[in-house]
Amino acid sequence: MIFIVIAVVIVGYAIVIYNGLVGLKHAVSQAWSNIDVLLKQRHDELPKLVETCKAYMKHESETLEKVMQARAAVASAREAQDVGGLGQAEGLLRMGLGNLFAVAEAYPDLKANESFQHLQARISGLENAIADRREFYNASVNANNVRIEQFPDLIVARLLAFKPAQLLEFDQRELRDVNLGTLFN
């Protein structure tokens, strides 16, 4: 009788652990989906921004091309759900957008353009939202990864093949300050 009670308690505890791990796994997926939605929205806005800038920035085609190349790299990594590749591509895109907005300062007519102002504000808002969602995603990933490594949860996690998720980390170049002097030479 004691063995049956112990077995029921162990099975019940394993079920509680399993359900907790499933909840964490789905929290990571949901957090990724939230980032994905924002990346898609920004992806759709960038061509509008580049087209608006082209009319004014005839001598800055290299800057505009870099933004579009980085946009394509982000889209490719996003569609493949390649978190590591997305982090690198995001770093390049953010650097390209920073350069674009800095170079735009040299074009007063562009800065005054209502469409440019709207798109700049929209993209900046999306950037902030992506940063917030990235923080939430990484917190979800961390909670998941810690839980599947803790005892006794790791026993259930290994038996049922729960895998650690990858943090969304941006390229180290994004963390450095932009040298604005080089943008205007």
The pLDDT value recorded for residue 135 is 93
In a domain, 137, yes or no: yes
Q: How far are the Cα atoms of 69, 95, 185 from residue 86, in angstroms, in the given order?
A: 13, 14, 30
In a domain, 64, yes or no: yes
- pLDDT mean across residues, the chain: 86
The pLDDT value recorded for residue 87 is 86
Burial (CB < 10 A; 0-12, 13-18, 19+), residue 42, is: buried
Residue 59 DSSP class = T
The closest alpha carbon to 173, from 82, 93, 63, belongs to: 93
The distance between the two most distant Cα atoms of the chain, rounded to a whole number of Å, is 85
For the cut 70, the answer to whether the pLDDT of residue 7 exceeds it is yes
Which of 27-41, 117-131, 169-183 has the weakest average pLDDT? 169-183
CB-based contacts of 81, cutoff 8 Å, min separation 6: 32
For the cut 90, the answer to whether the pLDDT of residue 27 exceeds it is yes
Residue 148 CB neighbour total at 10 angstroms: 20
Instruction: Please give the residue range of the domain that contains residue 6.
Output: 2-167
In a domain, 180, yes or no: no
Nearest-angstrom CA–CA distance, 103 and 182:
10
The total of structural domains in the chain comes to 1
**Residues 116, 118, 119, 121: is their CA dihedral positive or negative?**
positive
For the cut 60, the answer to whether the pLDDT of residue 114 exceeds it is yes
Cβ atoms of residues 26 and 111 within 8 Å: no
The pLDDT value recorded for residue 143 is 95
Q: What is the pLDDT of residues 132-145, one digit of tens each?
A: 999 999 999 999 99
Nearest-angstrom CA–CA distance, 92 and 109:
27
Q: What is the pLDDT of residues 65-77, one digit of tens each?
A: 888 899 999 999 9
**pLDDT confidence bin for 55, thresholds 50/70/90:** confident
Long-range contacts of range 43-47, CB-CB < 8 Å, 24 or more positions apart?
43/71, 43/74, 43/75, 43/78, 45/119, 45/122, 45/123, 45/126, 46/71, 46/123, 47/71
**pLDDT confidence bin for 96, thresholds 50/70/90:** confident
Give the CATH number for residue 60. Answer: 1.20.1440.20
In a domain, 174, yes or no: no
In a domain, 177, yes or no: no
